[in-house]
């Protein structure tokens, strides 16, 4: 296929990327709709697939709901298709005979087209142009983001080399501009090139921009949208905002590292954020927040302290029937503002919070159902998992701890409290899991949407490696009834679906044996109504600091509670008959519930053996016991086999 094949692949990729963004889809979402891997979509969009399968492209076209003109635009770039100019814009013009700036293809009438709203790209007569080394591309990108303005040569040098430019910097910039002119306008004379896109203006340069620059089209569409919004035409404004934002392919000039952080480049991100905020206001007026919700979520993740964005996000979530998620957004932002800036929420955020609490935002349950279905099928009832393992019959000596845990239920019932998290910590064998499972069973009826249990394998004796958050999330999504073919391929998309599934439910989630806060944090729901119980050998203070988790550290049992535990398993008569031996066993087990349970099980299996003999054999088989160190007792008895069978005469 050669060079023609590379050009076809890149043109096809540009079209697919543009149509996808115009549809408001991520690569994961498009892949899920079309039944292909996200890697296949990514390779197509980046021009790496030189021989795309027509049936695969057809499925993408079906998933994007393309019309016939747009389908022809795609298929014209498939291998074997007749080499022609790229298809013209397949959407109608924006009015007044002007070109449509939101098309993914490149119109043959414009000789040179430039794209800066994403990685820098240039097209000449519909074919991609190689723009040379990094600094040469940076010159073009810098002139493009400042289009129409004469940029002094010194400003360009500062951007390329900072405070340490080479002695030949002026000559190098002149050389870069000359090469760019030849590249962008190959086949024209020198005099013609001087009159084209790149102009010399005294000691600087200027890029003339119009329909050939995506940034110019973005600004023009945004201005028309604001004008329509000011005239009270919210529907037209939303369409124009959507067209303007569809031009963005990623971070501006994302492939030019030396311009990252440049004020002009950062300013483009601020322009996009302002357009999204205006778009949200217009969409809210129409009662159609669904169309802007993904953009607000992405923007809020980028700037977790932007109150105006979070205020719109709360309104959009409530408008799509996710009131609990909206309240969670307010709670988490208020916490960040307090911890990081020491300030209270602004009046704008407080007003949005009040609207959500008063349910002053009409929800759109029909669109919510269409966007995220929480059912395995449209007819099937929701899956209600009941995954708690069996609890111990009697839990000795944990009355105070159970009372402290039960107090948390009042927070669960408070929609403004967010997700309630309890971390039960303590040394190995102290009974963290037994306490968590026992309490979870006693309150399970408070969580009608189900109870989830996940063994994270963070520090226990399991030979398998600890579970990653991605593994847990995929497992839970399947447990909640989502078919494998509907689970997104990307980890971020799976995490988003996980939070969406839990946002509409009141569930209890028990995460057993967490390694650390990093392993547990991605598994926390994003909205109120759920209770999360985490057990760990560590305190997980990070969750307490950031997520306001409640920490409960277990100590070993008291003497009386340890004796009660042995009596409940061996019988009161056998225990009372040998009080000295019982005290010796309790000392050997360091009052750890797990060690006591192991000893009780061995004693119960040998009813004819005196408890004193069992204690003596234990001391001989495990010399490390009786030191008073809980970690030694738990680790020795649960992990190392005895030198001989304890309690069996030799």
Residue pLDDT, tens place only, 328-350: 888 888 888 888 888 888 888 88
pLDDT digits (tens, 9 = 90+) for 305-324: 889 999 999 888 888 878 77
d(CA 177, CA 344): 50
Residue 228, pLDDT > 50, answer yes
pLDDT at residue 371, as a whole number: 39
Residue 288, pLDDT > 70, answer yes
Judge whether 573 and 607 are in contact, CB under 8 Å: no
Domain with CATH 3.40.50.300 in the chain: 399-553
Judge whether 9 and 129 are in contact, CB under 8 Å: no
Which CATH number does the domain 399-553 belong to among 3.10.129.10, 3.40.640.10, 3.40.50.300, 3.40.50.2300? Answer: 3.40.50.300
pLDDT at residue 254, as a whole number: 86
Specify the DSSP element, H or E, that contains 17. Answer: helix 2-22
Mean pLDDT confidence for 185-195: 54
Specify the DSSP element, H or E, that contains 508. Answer: strand 508-514
The pair of three-digit structure tokens given for residue 419, joined into one six-digit string? 């997700």
pLDDT digits (tens, 9 = 90+) for 145-175: 888 888 888 889 988 998 888 999 899 998 8
pLDDT digits (tens, 9 = 90+) for 191-200: 444 445 778 8
Residue 367, pLDDT > 70, answer no
pLDDT-derived band at 638 (thresholds 50, 70, 90) equals: low
pLDDT-derived band at 61 (thresholds 50, 70, 90) equals: confident
Specify the DSSP element, H or E, that contains 371. Answer: helix 365-371
Mean pLDDT of the chain: 79
Domain with CATH 1.10.260.40 in the chain: 1-84
The pair of three-digit structure tokens given for residue 265, joined into one six-digit string? 């480049």
CATH superfamily, with its number, for domain 1-84: lambda repressor-like DNA-binding domains (1.10.260.40)
Residue 380, pLDDT > 50, answer no
pLDDT at residue 618, as a whole number: 84
Q: Which residues of 523-556 are buried (b: 16+ CB within 10 A; e: fewer)?
A: bbbbbbbbbbbbbbbebbeebeeebbbbebebeb
d(CA 158, CA 156): 5
d(CA 9, CA 13): 6
DSSP reduced 3-state for 157 = helix
pLDDT at residue 91, as a whole number: 33
pLDDT digits (tens, 9 = 90+) for 385-435: 899 998 877 788 888 999 999 988 888 877 666 789 999 999 988 999 999
């Amino acid at each position: 296929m050669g060079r023609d094949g590379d050009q076809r692949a890149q043109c096809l990729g540009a079209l697919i990327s543009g149509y996808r963004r115009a549809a408001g889809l991520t690569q994961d979402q498009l892949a899920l709709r079309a039944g292909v891997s996200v890697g296949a979509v990514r390779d197509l969009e980046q021009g790496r697939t030189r021989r795309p399968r027509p049936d695969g492209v057809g499925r993408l076209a079906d998933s994007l709901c393309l019309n016939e003109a747009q389908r022809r635009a795609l298929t014209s770039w498939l291998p074997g298709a007749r080499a022609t100019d790229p298809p013209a814009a397949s959407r109608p013009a924006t009015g007044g005979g002007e070109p449509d700036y939101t098309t993914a293809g490149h119109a043959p009438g414009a000789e040179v087209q430039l794209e800066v709203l994403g990685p820098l790209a240039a097209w000449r007569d519909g074919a991609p142009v190689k723009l040379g080394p990094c600094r040469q591309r940076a010159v073009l990108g810098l002139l493009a983001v400042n289009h129409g303005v004469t940029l002094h040569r010194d400003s360009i040098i500062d951007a390329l080399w900072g405070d340490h430019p080479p002695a030949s910097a002026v000559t190098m910039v002149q050389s870069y501009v000359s090469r760019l002119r030849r590249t962008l306008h190959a086949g024209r004379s020198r005099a013609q090139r001087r009159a084209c896109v790149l102009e010399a203006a005294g000691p600087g340069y200027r890029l003339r921009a119009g329909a050939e620059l995506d940034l110019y089209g973005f600004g023009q569409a945004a201005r028309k949208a604001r004008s329509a919004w000011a005239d009270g035409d919210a529907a037209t404004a939303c369409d124009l905002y959507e067209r303007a934002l569809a031009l963005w392919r990623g971070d501006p000039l994302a492939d030019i590292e030396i311009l990252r952080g440049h004020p002009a480049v950062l300013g483009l991100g601020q322009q996009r954020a302002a357009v999204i905020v205006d778009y949200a206001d217009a969409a809210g007026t129409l009662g159609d927040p669904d169309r802007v919700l993904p953009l607000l979520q992405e923007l809020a993740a980028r700037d977790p302290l932007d109150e105006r964005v979070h205020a719109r996000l709360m309104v959009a979530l409530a408008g799509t029937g996710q009131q609990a998620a909206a309240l969670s957004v307010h709670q988490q932002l208020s916490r960040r503002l307090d911890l990081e800036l020491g300030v209270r929420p602004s009046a704008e955020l407080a007003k949005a919070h009040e609207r959500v609490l008063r349910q002053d935002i009409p929800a759109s349950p029909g669109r919510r159902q269409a966007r995220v279905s929480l059912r395995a099928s449209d007819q099937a009832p929701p899956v209600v998992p009941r995954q708690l393992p069996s609890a111990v019959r009697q839990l000795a000596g944990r009355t105070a701890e159970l009372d402290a845990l039960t107090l948390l239920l009042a927070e669960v019932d408070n929609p403004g409290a967010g997700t309630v998290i309890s971390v039960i910590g303590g040394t190995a064998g102290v009974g963290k899991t037994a306490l968590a499972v026992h309490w979870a069973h006693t309150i399970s009826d408070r969580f009608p949407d189900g109870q989830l249990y996940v063994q994270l394998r963070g520090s226990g004796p399991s030979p398998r490696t600890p579970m990653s958050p991605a593994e847990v999330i995929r497992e839970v999504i399947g447990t909640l009834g989502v078919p494998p073919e509907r689970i997104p391929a990307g980890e971020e998309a799976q995490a988003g679906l996980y939070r969406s599934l839990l946002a509409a439910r009141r569930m209890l989630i028990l995460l057993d044996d967490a390694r650390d806060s990093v392993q547990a944090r991605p598994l926390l729901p994003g909205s109120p109504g759920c209770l999360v119980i985490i057990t760990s050998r560590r305190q997980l203070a990070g969750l307490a600091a950031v997520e306001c988790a409640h920490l409960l550290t277990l100590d070993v049992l008291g003497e009386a509670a340890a004796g009660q535990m042995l009596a409940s398993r061996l019988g009161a008569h056998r225990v009372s008959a040998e009080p000295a031996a019982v005290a010796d066993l309790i000392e050997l087990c360091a009052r750890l519930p797990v060690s006591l349970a192991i000893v009780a099980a061995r004693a119960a299996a040998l009813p004819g053996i005196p408890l004193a003999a069992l204690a003596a054999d234990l001391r001989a088989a495990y010399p490390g016991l009786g030191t008073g160190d809980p970690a030694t007792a738990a680790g020795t008895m649960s992990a190392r086999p005895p030198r001989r069978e304890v309690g069996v005469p030799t």
